[in-house]
Amino acid sequence: MDRQSFEILNFFINNDALTLRELQSHFSVSRVTITKNIRAINDYLVGIAKINVNQAKFYLVINNYSAMAKLQTNFLKKDLDFNDPLKRQATILKELLQQITDYVILDDLAESLAVSRGTINKDLKALKQQLDYYQVRIETKTNRGIHLAVEHDYMYAVITRTLVGKYYELEATWDKATDVKLLNLVKKLDHNNDTVTMVKRNIAVINWLRKYNIQINDRINNYHPLLSDVTMACLRNLVTEIIGSSLSTSEWEFISYPLNIRKLPKDDNQLVQVGLVEVEDLMQSVFPILKQKLDVNLDFKRLLMELRYHLLFLINRAIFDVKSEGFISVDMLSKYPVSTELAQLTLSTIATKLNIRIRSQEVGYLTVYFQMELEEYMAAPIIHRVALVEPINTSMKKFISEKLKEMLDDDLQIDVFNSISEWEQSPEKYLLIFSNSFLTDNELINHAPIIRLNSIFNQGTLRERLQISLVDEAVNQGQCRFDVTQFDEQETYVTGVKKLINQEIQHGQLTPDFMQAWLNREQQSSSIFGDGVALPHVIDKSGLNRILVTVGVFEKPVVFDNQKVNVVFLVAIPYKLDATLSKILAQVYDLIRSITANSNIYNNLKNYDENQGLNQLMEAI
């Protein structure tokens, strides 16, 4: 088992069920690689444990706990051989750092690693791809060999910590009394044990780099120390003693960054305020870009007050490539497409403006902040009318009202009719009609489903019917368009989505530039969300004031991005997204989840008749 498989195994040990998207996001590798790793782990763990899959979620079942513990211990003690390409790449990087002022000859590398020159070239290609994230280059000079070049010299420390330190213990030893003193000084500032571990590791990194005459001197732009020099003086003096000579400002900032990536009680208020002002200035240039992407009337001033501390720590983390502590499900983010879109654009804009790289894992919490603000934006109530066509007592009316209000964020108007004839005289249109009586066909009920009163006790079914009715109401009011296409057998995911887009262009619902916008969106992240569902969503600049949902159902599952796809829900989100459309968009996503979770609704979708409207999805549920 290689190092990456071992880390994936540990991730399963520390988490519950995980999707491929969550694993891909956390480890920043492809789905193919994750799948291969899982197979390799299962082959290695035969008789001890197994990673199983159920409904597109993977989970670890341990049969022999003592054997698992022994395996982990032995792996950590074992020095992996050079059959592991990732270790070879770390070794090549280690050699380049050790000979930073000289060139490394490829033949010498091949000989020391006991591999061919071709293998070394493959490893170099992979290593260059890893280093590109850190703006570190491997340069080649004819007849001399290869050497490292960096944009910012603090990246020597970052890549040593992240890539070399994963495979090699970096020499840094001090006596027990010094270790106790170091522990106590760090814990006075932050009680988190992980902070102590990170500070010790960073000391080891700087000490190791010094050994090979690498010293960090470049100013670290946009980084904000949040603890005062006075507060940090004792710790800095001790670290200086450990290193053996004075530290540059940038070396100290690298060593101490674990104390500046979360809010601490001893943060210096003046330093924090300086950082917050810079964040606020930055976001004043980011918000107009968000407005260009999606014209939504958010209270950006209030949003900034909520975001600014988070962004201050996020930028400090990103500068040193520190993963955020939290883990928010990537699949959960699919519930909030607009917020996710805004969060991704915010991060990419900040990264461009500050010339830093920000890991995709950071999008999670930022999405939550945007979603909270969007929900404030959508707070204006909408009144839905429900009819009860039956003599009914006050208690029953109250009970039904409370059950419906639990499911609706909006105001509810319940009209009670004691007879069918009384109801037929009403001019109102209703979202739902509850009655145990047989109601004949009537123009008043063409778009309002009749629901038996006893179904109020089956909240799952009632919620599904309510979701269908809400979207159907939006369709009838022209605020949503819902189209369904049955794909031919030869369609693939890509050709199928292109077919849906071209159909809507021909119908005047989309403009031709939507196609390229979708292709760009697919390059950013996958639209496959497991359980056979693809959910591509794109900002629509056609100027039409409605949510467009165009559905494509495959005759047989197709494979894309190593996942099966049964159905595509292509959602076009209007560029000008007002509060009403924002709420309808949320209702559309609720409906999509119901369709994919309930096989009866899904079967109704497969047999969808454009002439009957959305309420046909309620049949047999």
User: What is the band of 122 on the pLDDT scale with cuts at 50, 70, 90?
Assistant: very high
Q: Domain 383-457: which CATH class? A: alpha beta
**Per-residue pLDDT tens over the stretch 485-496:** 999 888 999 999
Q: Out of 1.10.10.10, 3.20.20.70, 1.20.120.420, 1.20.120.530, which CATH number does the structure's domain 85-151 have? A: 1.10.10.10
Residue 340 and residue 537: Cα distance in Å, rounded?
Answer: 11
Share of the chain above pLDDT 90, in %: 47
Does residue 445 carry a pLDDT above 50? no
pLDDT at res. 568: 95
Superfamily name with CATH number, domain 476-618:
Mannitol-specific EII; Chain A (3.40.930.10)
**Per-residue pLDDT tens over the stretch 98-108:** 999 999 999 99
Q: Which of 40, 36, 12 minimizes the C-alpha distance to 26?
A: 12
Question: Domain residue spans in the chain?
Answer: 3-77, 85-151, 176-259, 269-377, 383-457, 476-618
Domains 269-377 and 383-457 share a fold: no
Does residue 223 carry a pLDDT above 80? yes
Does residue 7 carry a pLDDT above 80? yes
Does residue 342 carry a pLDDT above 60? yes
pLDDT at res. 329: 61
Residue 489 and residue 486: Cα distance in Å, rounded?
Answer: 9
**Per-residue pLDDT tens over the stretch 16-52:** 788 887 787 777 777 788 888 899 899 988 989 999 9
Q: What is the DSSP letter of 212?
A: T
Please state the rounded mean pLDDT for residues 70-96. 77
Largest Cα–Cα distance of the chain, in whole Å?
97
SS3 readout for 559-579 = EECCEEEEEEEEEEEECECCH
pLDDT at res. 380: 56
Residue 508 and residue 505: Cα distance in Å, rounded?
Answer: 5
User: What is the band of 443 on the pLDDT scale with cuts at 50, 70, 90?
Assistant: very low
User: What is the band of 444 on the pLDDT scale with cuts at 50, 70, 90?
Assistant: very low
**Count of CB atoms situated within 10 Å of the CB of 225:** 21
Residue 477 and residue 480: Cα distance in Å, rounded?
Answer: 8
Q: Out of 3.50.50.60, 1.10.1790.10, 3.40.50.11540, 3.30.420.40, which CATH number does the structure's domain 269-377 have? A: 1.10.1790.10
pLDDT at res. 337: 80
pLDDT at res. 59: 87
* Between residues 275 and 336, the one the model is more confident about: 275
- Please answer whether residues 541 and 513 qualify as being in contact, where contact means their C-beta atoms are separated by less than 8 angstroms: yes
pLDDT at res. 619: 78
pLDDT at res. 138: 96
Does residue 290 carry a pLDDT above 80? yes
**Per-residue pLDDT tens over the stretch 45-79:** 898 999 998 877 888 888 888 888 777 766 654 55
**CATH fold group of domain 3-77:** Arc Repressor Mutant, subunit A (1.10.10)
User: What is the band of 404 on the pLDDT scale with cuts at 50, 70, 90?
Assistant: confident
pLDDT at res. 402: 78
Backbone angles phi and psi of 57, in degrees to 5: -120, 135
Please state the rounded mean pLDDT for residues 573-587. 87
Does residue 506 carry a pLDDT above 80? yes
**Per-residue pLDDT tens over the stretch 369-385:** 888 888 776 655 667 78
pLDDT averaged over the chain? 86
Residue 72 and residue 266: Cα distance in Å, rounded?
Answer: 38
Backbone angles phi and psi of 58, in degrees to 5: -100, 140
User: What is the band of 199 on the pLDDT scale with cuts at 50, 70, 90?
Assistant: very high
**Count of CB atoms situated within 10 Å of the CB of 339:** 21
